[in-house]
Amino acid sequence: MNLARLAAEAAARGTPVRAGLIGAGKFGSMFLSQVPTIEGLEVTAIADLDPDRARTACATVGWDADRIAATDFVSDGKALATRDDIDVMIEATGNPRAGIAHALAAIAGGKHIVMVNVEADVLVGPVLAAKAAEAGVVYSMAYGDQPALVSEMVDWARAAGFRVAAAGKGTKYLPDYHNVTPDGVWAHYGLTSEAAKKAGMNPQMFNSFLDGTKSAIEMVAIANACGLNVPADGLKFPPCGVDDLAHILRPQEIGGQLDGPGMVEVVSSVERDGRPVFRDLRWGVYVVLEAPNDYAAACFKQYGLPTDRTGRFAAMYKPFHMIGLELSVSVLSAALRGEATGSARQMRGTVASVAKKDLRAGEMLDGEGGYTVWGKAQPVVAGAQPLPIGLAHGVSVKRDIPAGQVLMLDDLDLPEDDVLAMYRQSLQSVA
C-alpha cells in the first residue's frame, strides 16, 4: 500500500527505478503507456527485434518526442543486462527459449527480472527463481497478468488464516476449441481474417488463448508459485458464474467438481451448449476459501460473502485484470521492496503437448497455438516425461502419434541442450 510513496521518494532522491523492456508488443506497449504518469519510474532502454517498431509503439501509446529521444532502442535483449542504467529487466517476448536466455543474462548481470513470459516460467521457473535468489536479485511474475493476481489472492487468503480450496481465472471455453487451428481462429473472436490482419493480430498467438493452451500455462504457473494442485486429467473448465464459485469449486466428495482440495481451475463463461453463463468471470480471477472453524464460517454469512450451501466455502474475485497497465507494480516492488509479485517455487505441474491431429513420423511441430499440438495442464508425476509445450516447436516426431494423445519426450528428436537440462532440473524441485 506504500509502493507509490516509495517510488515518489526515490524520485525525490534523484534515484528513480530504471527499467529495461524486452519486447514491445501488446503487453509491453500497455506498460509503456503508463510510464509517463508514474513518478519514480523510468524506462531507459527497450529491446525489440525491430527497434523501429518499438519506437513506433512508444509514439502510439503517447510518449512525446523528448522521452523517445532519451530512450535507447536496441535489438539485443541480453545487452540490457550489462547496462549500468537499468535496475529491472522486463521479459515480454513470449518466446520461452528467448525468455530463459534473457532471464539468465539479467541474473548474471545483477538485475531484477520481471517475467511476463509465462511460457518460460512454466518450463524452468523454479530453476530461474533459485538462481536469482543465489545472486541476490528478484525473479518475479508480472502483476496485471492472471498468475500474479491469483498468487496475490492466495497469499492474502493464507495470511488471513483461510484454507484455499481453489484458485484460478475465467475464460470462454468449449471442448471443440482444443482442435481449432490458426486458420479457423478469427470466427470465434467475431473477426474476419482481413480485419485481424489489418489490426496486426497474430492468429497463432490468439489461437493459444482459444484452444486452452494459454489457460493451462497460466494455471500451471499459479500451481508452481502457490503450491496448489493440478487436476489429474487436466483442467475441466466448468461453466460457472461468480455466484456459484463456492458451490462448484470445492471437492467432489462434498458436492463440488474438483478432484480434491487446493486445486487450480479455469471457469468458462459459456455453458456447454453455447449459452452465456449468468454473471460470468471471463475477464477476472478468483479464490475459493474454506473457513477453518465454525466461527469464521458464520462470519462469511454475516458479512455477505457468496458461500456454498454448507456456509464453509466462500469466494472472492476480481472481475477484471488490466494486463500491462498494472505491470509497474512488479517493477517497483522488485526494486524498492526486494519482493516478487509471485514467483515459481516448485514444479507442481507442467503443460503437456497433446496432438491436435494424427501426426506422422517426421512431421514438424509448430508449438503453442499452432496446427499440431495444444497444451494440457498436468500434474508432475515421478517417472513421467510428457513433452512440455515450450519445447514443442521446430522439432519432429519420431513415430506416428494419434490425435488426442499426449506426446512424451522420447517421441521427439530433441536436442540435448541447456534448456532441456534446466527443464529436467526443474522437475527435481517437486516436493
pLDDT for 22-80, tens place per residue?
999 999 999 999 999 999 999 999 999 999 999 999 999 999 999 999 999 999 999 99
Contact yes or no for 314/306 (Cβ under 8 A): yes
Cα torsion for 397, 400, 404, 407, to the nearest 10°? Answer: -40
What residues pair up with 91 in beta bridges, in sequence order? Answer: 22, 115
SS3 call for 141: strand
Instruction: Assess if CATH 3.40.50.720 describes domain 3-145+324-337.
Output: yes
Task: Return the CATH number of the domain spanning residue range 349-427.
Answer: 3.90.1210.10
Ramachandran bin of 304, using left for φ above 0, alpha for ψ from -120 to 50, beta for the remaining angles: left
pLDDT at 197: 83
Mean per-residue pLDDT pooled into runs of 10, the chain (431 residues): 95 98 95 98 98 97 98 98 98 96 98 98 97 98 98 98 98 96 93 85 92 98 98 97 98 96 98 97 98 97 94 97 97 98 97 98 96 97 92 96 97 91 84 49
Tally Cβ neighbours within 10 Å of residue 182. Answer: 20
Question: Would the CA dihedral through 215, 257, 353, 366 be positive or negative?
Answer: negative
Q: Where are the domains of the chain?
A: 3-145+324-337, 147-173+212-320, 349-427
C-alpha 25/C-alpha 28 separation (Å) is 5
Q: At what angle do helices 213-226 and 203-210 cross, to 10 degrees?
A: 60
| Phi then psi dihedrals of residue 179, to 5 deg | -95, 0
